[in-house]
Structure 1
Amino acid sequence: MLLKLSLTGIKGRLKDYLVLFSGLIMASAIFYMFEALATNKSFVTSNSPISMAGIIFQIGSVLLGIIALVYIIYANNFLMSMRRRDYGMFMMLGAKGRKIAQLIAAETLVIGTAATLIGTVLGVGLTQIVSNLLLSQMDIQIKHFSPFYLPAVLVTLIFFIILFIIAAVVNQFQLLKTPVLQLLHDDQQPNRVSQNKLSRIVQIVLGLLFLAVGYYMMIKVATFQIMGLVVALVTIVLGTYFLFNALFGWLITLLKRNSKIRNRGLNNFTLAQLSFRIKDYTKMLALVAMLFALALGAITVGIGYQSEIPEMAETMAPYDVVLNQPNQEALRLTKDLKGVKATANYDVKEDAKTVYYRTAQLEKSPIMAIQFGNGNGVARAKGVKPVKLSEIQNGDSSSLRAIQVPSQSSKDVKVVSDAEFNQVAGATTQVKTYRVKDFAVNLPVIKKIHAQQVIANPELAKGQGATMDSSKYANYKLANSMFSGLEFMGFFLGIAFLAMLASCLMFKILSGAASDVKRYTMLAKIGTRRNLLQQSIAKEIGVLFLLPGIVGVIHVLFGLQLFKLIMIDPYNDLWVPFSIFIILYAIYYLLTTWLYKGIVLKEVK
């Protein structure tokens, strides 16, 4: 009988349970996506130039586990908020508390286990789709990555089942300790917490001070190094908490005192709702702001490396294309290069010990070399500069390496007149150089030209990367192989963190929806139009999403200072990752608003 009543209750709230079930599926799917990377040591070590990558991923895995725990707590609260009144009714009808506790445990474990199994399968599919999308769009090389990774499956299943067992025990304990009347009238319990004005002022000052110290440490990370990172982490976390605990509540109070804002539409009601919730949401909003910064930062750095790789190649070779003894197909392909800004031709002869060049050609078209500048510990190419002929004649032939094949780099260099050049025995070979405006735009053509160069000069295929081949494309491939793993990880994990943090906030908001039904129903009964109620909901939830988003963006803008040590320009094309992230975040906002309206306006006609 009790089971039948329970099934009837679940059927009556099927839409809400589908939201809960789908949320738990996504949580386990995202957790699996992360673990497929974090537990695969071969993937981590072979796709990251950072020796500490394995430790970094283990820390990230622990962090994601904490996020998952928080997510389960709020999802569990959402479940209990829907069922507490039902359980109270069962107990009023004579059901024993022990039986109700068993029923709760069964519901929690069945829903959780089923969601985890489906979510893990979905996670494998999502991992395959996301990885294929990233690999196809980013021109990156990934080793030892498999969408299905058995250790990740086992970790996901064990972790979530343990969490749901803990949740079932907590639910039982809470139910047995709660009086029946409180279960029946739980949505009428007040939760407002007053705050002393002096305490609020102190927290505001401390919050701003902690954030200022943290941001300063990130800007000066090259000076303070590890100590600066530790101080920044502690102060920014504390500053974020104080910011939400005191400052935003104070700002809402100021808005309530402004009669023009307060008396417009349902703003007074909306501000009262926010003021009522902000204290209860402090920890969640602070957590979401920090996770927002981590997720957006990961995506920004990941995409940043995509544009950094061609720029790194620019710092390693002065010419975009060098044809040494080219075949006809390579010469034909050069016609497809776009934005060619400079070309040069050189005649070359060589014997067993020496490579000969014409003085007249080097005077007319000087050999180019990279001109470097220093900035934040990263060698930055300021452009190219012509090499003086006198430097080459005096024995400094290093600049000529840019137009030589490997077999020539070990020989002596002589720059001679046309008459002397003609007297040298042997055939004359040709070297053609090209510099274009945009290496990345011409990359597909350059790749084909390089393949023809390898055919004409098989020695270019020997060795590893640019150790045997000094062309810009070879250096691009070397940088791509080193940093594409970080690019993939950053984007992949940023999406995972975004989904988790937005889901946590969504369920935190939805868990309080049941207690708001009467408020919105009362407003509707006194004549408030439905569209005004919908606008009030959109504004209220919009503020709860917007506040951590703004703080998270500010954290990222300062946090990117850390990457100036290992990236040429971490702020390049910020609009791309920010746009992607904001669109995905907005989708979660719209979904949360739609679900919340479905709960609180269900009885409003």
Structure 2
Amino acid sequence: MTLFSIARKTIRQNFSNYFLYFASMIFSIVIYFVFVSLKYDQTIQATSDTSPKINSVFSGAAVVLIIFVAVFIWYSNSFFTRKRKKEVGLYSLLGVRKKQIGRMLFYENFIMGVLALIVGILLGSVLSKFFVTILMKIMGYNAIVNFTISLEAIINTIIVFTIITLITSFHGYRLIYRFKLIELFQADKEGEQEPKTSFIIALLSVVLIGIGYWLALQNMLDSAIWRKIGFLVTPLIIIITVILGTYLLFSSLTVYLLKVSRKNKKKYWNGINLIGTSQLLFRIKGNARTLTIIAVLSATTLTAVGAAYSLYYNNRSNVETADPSSISFIAEDNNIAEQVNAMITNSKDHDLIYHETISTLQVDADVTNLNSKFYSDEMIYTVVSNRDFNTIAKVQGRNDVLSLQANEAAVLDAMYSEQMSPEYVGSTISLKVNDRQENVTFSNLKKYSIFNYRTAGTTVVVSDKLFAGLAKEIKREDMHLYKITNEDDAEQLTKDVRTIMPDEARFSSFYADYAAGLESSGLMIFMGGFLGLVFLTATGSIIYFKQLTEANSDKERYEILHKIGVNKKEIRLVIAKQMVFIFGLPLIAGIAHCAVALTALSRLLQISLVVPVMICMGVYTCIYIAYYFLTVNAYYKTVTKTK
């Protein structure tokens, strides 16, 4: 019997132990193959105007995926090698040379990799149409997706994963030479000393995380500490303090708290709490690095997916704020205005809700008195009369009326930000009118606009008398505003209107901005969601592998417990409590880190992220719970399996 046939037989007989590793590899290959297929997909290239950008995004995501999958496979391989130390020791006792053992392990890993590659490519090919359809739907396209198999994607995937498989296989081969025979049989007794820690180090973990959170939650635009440390250095300090604090949290604080819990004799000696607490105490420090990696990866994944989904979730409301009208433009040519009016009124797919033509002025202004850090001293405003504002506000269904007198003014700023925008109310600006200046004082601030932002920018409303005086010296511009039904499905109408619009018309439409936002945020959520699933699958698998390795080490201990009267129900309860600790710690830490990061992002962008983030956290937690039950069940079967 050859070494290759032995390796093949070993895989077949122990496939249940390899299954999750095998499934995780297949899942990673499927996602990578889909990413590469999307890069070459003809439907996307024909449908989207930004296909080059999509290609570059998926190329970048594929590189991140390659690195992560390579690390995951390398890490998993190490677990399997450690798990089989006794088996390797028996081979050595029987006279099998390390070179032959290494070759056998090389063949095993290579066979697994090749099988995963074949299955992954086949599944990816079958599912590619489904994934392209999802992407098109998320990005707002209704294109008909044809089933195609990309030869370039197949070649790319085969090359990448063959290299990864070869590298990890050689790693397993070389690992055999590092083991001494005595180590192979005493591997299960390694790391069984009670870990030491101190209150100072345990407290330091909380302090470090607290510093990171405090810096992250500062208003970065106004914070003196951010300015003092530097806007490039501060994020680096946040990352270092939180990661180091998380590691110390798992390696020191948890150990300290477990030791403190032992002092509660009544609880510690109650039932089987002694077993569970002791198991955790001896093992938690050895798991600290793994738990830290998983917590950080969980936080990164949740933050990225949560932010992407938030942009997608808030896309419509953001566009409604920026574009209150479905179509808006400046008309200097009456013929163009009439053509547009005919297109819109004759459209069979859309009903006209309103059409208003408003006289506006483009006025330069000296805004030095606003004392803004982010604005220049000169701005161009769109000026409109009090009467026209009230007319449009009523048509748009806004319960808002202005009554401006003399040189009073109101500012309409749809992009207003408390952190970046100036304090308008009470401030005076100077409107430049030929050779003189007209001072107006802001008495009102409206955090919306009656005009589309792309057409009008920031708008200033002045009294009717002042507007009439300004209009005598500044050329008027007629702004046309249209509101139609089904504005988010006005692709063809928008294209038809855009074709006859000159550049100076400053044309803007709800559909164009809505579609662009849907495309970019849809692409981000698709990429982030699937990368997040890969990260989650891999991190869950790493915990699974780690715990199964420990289960094999603990098997004899649990057999002794069973012999002295501990029933299987109690053993399962002990395992379940341990797994809650192992799975719960990184999940809670990851969610906490994510919550702080997204709170800071929410404050910066001034948008509510609560609903989308809660959805993402809920889905993530549910998948993690599934891994928890899978691990508990596998651990229990391993330690209760009798010969």
TM-score surpassing 0.5?
yes
Other-structure match for 1:282:
288
Task: Work out the CA distance in 2 between the residues paired with 1:508 and 1:136.
Answer: 39
Superposed CA deviations along residues 190-213 of structure 1, whole A, max 9, x for unmatched, are: 31355444xx33433433333233
Distance change in 2, residues 1:525/1:147 (3 Å):
farther
Checking the alignment, whether the CA contact within 8 Å between 1:362 and 1:389 is kept in structure 2 is: no
Matched to 2:418, the amino acid is: G
Structure 1 stretch 582-591 or stretch 154-163: which is displaced more?
154-163
Q: Compute the displacement of 1:107 (Å).
A: 1.7
Q: Compute the displacement of 1:517 (Å).
A: 1.6
Q: Compute the displacement of 1:431 (Å).
A: 7.7
1:601 partnered with 2:633: no
Q: Compute the displacement of 1:395 (Å).
A: 5.2
Task: Work out the CA distance in 1 between the residues paired with 2:603 and 2:504.
Answer: 23
Task: Work out the CA distance in 2 between the residues paired with 1:209 and 1:177.
Answer: 39
Distance change in 2, residues 1:155/1:272 (3 Å):
farther
Per the normalisation by structure 1, the TM-score is 0.74
Query: What does 1:288-437 correspond to in 2, within 5 Å?
Result: 288-319=294-325, 327=345, 333=351, 370-372=412-414, 373-377=416-420, 382-383=447-448, 390=464, 393-394=468-469, 412-413=477-478
Matched to 1:598, the amino acid is: K
Task: Work out the CA distance in 2 between the residues paired with 1:233 and 1:361.
Answer: 52
Other-structure match for 2:429:
none
Other-structure match for 2:239:
233
Q: Aligned with 1:119: secondary structure?
A: helix
Other-structure match for 1:208:
206
Higher relative contact order (CA 8 A, sep 6+): 1
1:255 partnered with 2:255: no
Checking the alignment, whether the CA contact within 8 Å between 1:366 and 1:388 is kept in structure 2 is: no
Q: Aligned with 1:603: secondary structure?
A: coil
Q: Compute the displacement of 1:68 (Å).
A: 2.6
Other-structure match for 2:81:
80
Distance change in 2, residues 1:209/1:126 (3 Å):
farther
Q: Aligned with 2:417: secondary structure?
A: strand
Q: Compute the displacement of 1:546 (Å).
A: 0.9
Distance change in 2, residues 1:453/1:231 (3 Å):
same
Other-structure match for 2:514:
476
Other-structure match for 1:581:
620
Task: Work out the CA distance in 1 between the residues paired with 2:504 and 2:558.
Answer: 68
Matched to 1:211, the amino acid is: I
Task: Work out the CA distance in 1 between the residues paired with 2:547 and 2:630.
Answer: 12
Superposed CA deviations along residues 499-556 of structure 1, whole A, max 9, x for unmatched, are: 2222222222223221122222222222322222222222212211110111111111
Root mean square deviation, CA, Å: 4.6
Other-structure match for 1:447:
488
Give the alignment partner of residue 533 of structure 1, picking from 564, 571, 575: 571
1:113 partnered with 2:114: yes
Identical-residue share of aligned pairs (%)? 22
Q: Aligned with 1:375: secondary structure?
A: coil
Task: Work out the CA distance in 1 between the residues paired with 2:596 and 2:550.
Answer: 34
Task: Work out the CA distance in 2 between the residues paired with 1:565 and 1:49.
Answer: 29
Q: Compute the displacement of 1:243 (Å).
A: 1.7
Gaps of 5+ in 1: 335-342, 350-356, 398-409, 415-429, 435-441
Distance change in 2, residues 1:98/1:285 (3 Å):
same
Matched to 1:446, the amino acid is: E
Task: Work out the CA distance in 2 between the residues paired with 1:500 and 1:193.
Answer: 29
Q: Compute the displacement of 1:111 (Å).
A: 1.9
Other-structure match for 2:192:
192
Task: Work out the CA distance in 1 between the residues paired with 2:233 and 2:502.
Answer: 37
Distance change in 2, residues 1:66/1:85 (3 Å):
same
Give the alignment partner of residue 554 of structure 1, picking from 555, 577, 592: 592
Task: Work out the CA distance in 2 between the residues paired with 1:396 and 1:19.
Answer: 74
Task: Work out the CA distance in 1 between the residues paired with 2:385 and 2:626.
Answer: 64
Query: What does 1:61-140 correspond to in 2, within 5 Å?
Result: 64-125=65-126, 128-137=129-138, 139=140
Q: Compute the displacement of 1:219 (Å).
A: 2.8
Matched to 2:255, the amino acid is: G
Task: Work out the CA distance in 2 between the residues paired with 1:361 and 1:174.
Answer: 79
Give the alignment partner of residue 215 of structure 2, picking from 214, 217, 228: 217
Matched to 1:375, the amino acid is: E
Task: Work out the CA distance in 2 between the residues paired with 1:218 and 1:145.
Answer: 46
Q: Compute the displacement of 1:269 (Å).
A: 1.3
Structure 1 stretch 171-180 or stretch 307-316: which is displaced more?
171-180
1:13 partnered with 2:78: no
Q: Aligned with 1:315: secondary structure?
A: helix
Task: Work out the CA distance in 2 between the residues paired with 1:171 and 1:454.
Answer: 60
Per the normalisation by structure 2, the TM-score is 0.70
Matched to 1:280, the amino acid is: G
Give the alignment partner of residue 590 of structure 1, picking from 629, 632, 639: 629
Q: Aligned with 1:225: secondary structure?
A: coil
Other-structure match for 2:279:
273
Other-structure match for 2:525:
487
Task: Work out the CA distance in 1 between the residues paired with 2:122 and 2:272.
Answer: 45
Other-structure match for 1:420:
none
Q: Compute the displacement of 1:16 (Å).
A: 1.4
Distance change in 2, residues 1:66/1:8 (3 Å):
closer
Greater helix content: 1
Task: Work out the CA distance in 1 between the residues paired with 2:191 and 2:608.
Answer: 44
Task: Work out the CA distance in 1 between the residues paired with 2:159 and 2:492.
Answer: 53
Task: Work out the CA distance in 2 between the residues paired with 1:315 and 1:202.
Answer: 52
Give the alignment partner of residue 543 of structure 1, picking from 578, 581, 600: 581
Task: Work out the CA distance in 2 between the residues paired with 1:151 and 1:25.
Answer: 19
Q: Aligned with 1:527: secondary structure?
A: coil
Task: Work out the CA distance in 2 between the residues paired with 1:503 and 1:466.
Answer: 58
Task: Work out the CA distance in 1 between the residues paired with 2:503 and 2:278.
Answer: 64
Distance change in 2, residues 1:66/1:525 (3 Å):
farther
Checking the alignment, whether the CA contact within 8 Å between 2:74 and 2:168 is kept in structure 1 is: yes
Task: Work out the CA distance in 1 between the residues paired with 2:268 and 2:176.
Answer: 40
Superposed CA deviations along residues 191-249 of structure 1, whole A, max 9, x for unmatched, are: 1355444xx33433433333233223333444443222222222222222222221122
Structure 1 stretch 370-379 or stretch 582-591: which is displaced more?
370-379
Gaps of 5+ in 2: 329-339, 360-383, 397-410, 423-444, 452-460
Task: Work out the CA distance in 2 between the residues paired with 1:555 and 1:518.
Answer: 39
Task: Work out the CA distance in 2 between the residues paired with 1:226 and 1:35.
Answer: 33
Task: Work out the CA distance in 1 between the residues paired with 2:357 and 2:122.
Answer: 62
